Structure 1
Amino acid sequence: MDKSEGRRHCVIVMGPAGVGKTTVAQGLSERLGWSFAEADEFHSKANIEKMTAGVPLTDEDRAPWLVAIRDWISAEAGQGRCSVATCSALKRRYRDVLRGAEARVRFLELVADPELVAGRLARRKGHYMPPSLLGSQFAALEPLEPDEDGVEVSVAASPDEVIRQALAALQRFAGRDVSERRLHG
């Protein structure tokens, strides 16, 4: 029996900065009626200051951040709620931490051409992540592996189309009914 059977679900929308994680995650959250969390809100002040200065985070910097996101997912599941969260989750070991949540964690990897993302970051205002860190994000990215619970979706289309494709991909991957209101049985 699948140990995740009967557990609440969390879809983590992942990928480098600028791929549209927040837009897609908010859209999924609204369509599914699930809780939403923006991973940036879990960063410590020190992490934000470091990124604002253009310094990439280390694994040690990210460790408490990942635990905080994992614990939020568990708390939501403990309250009987499914959730959607953003998180770059660039490395498998980061995803392993998130998979430790008391929920079935499924990843939605947003895939984009680095040039497309660079253009988006250049137009983005009011975010502490400078475009200069994009290269380090793509360099650190370890795409989902075949044995990981997740799907990939290109972000080359409009946000509404990406969300539609994400719901369809998650449904196909789950091999069961995924309506826009529920992703769990």
Structure 2
Amino acid sequence: MIIIVMGVSGSGKTSVGTMVSRRLGCGFSDADAFHSAANKAKMAAGVALTDDDRWPWLDAMRAAIADNIAKGETHVYACSALKHIYRDRLRNGDEDVHFVYLSGSFELLEKRLAQRANHFFDPVLLKSQVDTLEAPQDDEAITIEISQTLDEIVDKVMTTLPKQG
């Protein structure tokens, strides 16, 4: 099973993904690790990425996902996956890829980003991400409100994910 914890910056993807992977006893990868140096530099400078910037990044993630699936590994990823087409590219028709969408108010996200230190993402880009976001429908992702505690969010993820055989 592949779980992709998605949402805009500040939604808690890395924190939730890390805890879910610990509970499942599997690996975890942050999508930021798949970005090129050029993409990271753009974001650090407050420049929003284009789809052309994102395709190689998404393809690198998809290759890692395909490798996990081929090896029969459960793995958790944290990835913004803002658009439906991005999620389709990551899923690539695999029914074993599940999305968890972390949803929250702009004010809460902004507050979280203001408290972050030493991260390459410029908080100014939050509005760009929110404007780009195509929130997934219920049949595409599990949606979880992020105003809860981290433990409550992770508990909900764990009870909502398909059971592993």
Using the size of structure 2 for normalisation, the TM-score is 0.96
- TM alignment of 1:1-40, pairs within 5 A: 9-40=1-32
Deviations for 1:69-109, whole angstroms, at most 9, x for unmatched residues? 11111112222211100110000000010011767111000
Q: Structure 2 counterpart of 1:94, which letter?
A: Y
Query: 2:97 and 2:70 mapped to 1: Cα distance?
Result: 14
Structure with bigger gyration radius: 1
Corresponding residue for residue 148 of structure 2: 157
Query: 2:133 and 2:17 mapped to 1: Cα distance?
Result: 19
Corresponding residue for residue 35 of structure 2: 43
Which one of 120, 123, 126 corresponds to residue 128 of structure 1?
120
Corresponding residue for residue 159 of structure 2: 168
Corresponding residue for residue 65 of structure 1: 57
Higher relative contact order (CA 8 A, sep 6+): 2
Structure 1 residue 169: Cα displacement: 2.3
Counterparts in 2 of 1:13 and 1:89: CA distance versus 1, 3 Å: same
In the TM superposition, structure 1's runs of 4+ consecutive aligned residues that sit over 4 Å from their partners are none
The total of aligned residue pairs comes to 165
Query: 2:131 and 2:82 mapped to 1: Cα distance?
Result: 9
- TM alignment of 1:87-102, pairs within 5 A: 87-100=79-92
- SS of the residue 2:21 aligns to: helix
Give RMSD over aligned pairs.
1.3
Q: Structure 1 counterpart of 2:111, which letter?
A: G
Q: Structure 2 counterpart of 1:167, which letter?
A: M
5+ residue gaps in structure 1? 1-8, 179-183
- SS of the residue 1:84 aligns to: strand
5+ residue gaps in structure 2? none
Structure 1 residue 145: Cα displacement: 2.0
Query: 2:95 and 2:73 mapped to 1: Cα distance?
Result: 10
Aligned residues: percent identity? 44
> Contact 1:54/1:129 (CA < 8 Å) preserved in 2?
yes
> Contact 1:109/1:152 (CA < 8 Å) preserved in 2?
yes
Corresponding residue for residue 78 of structure 1: 70
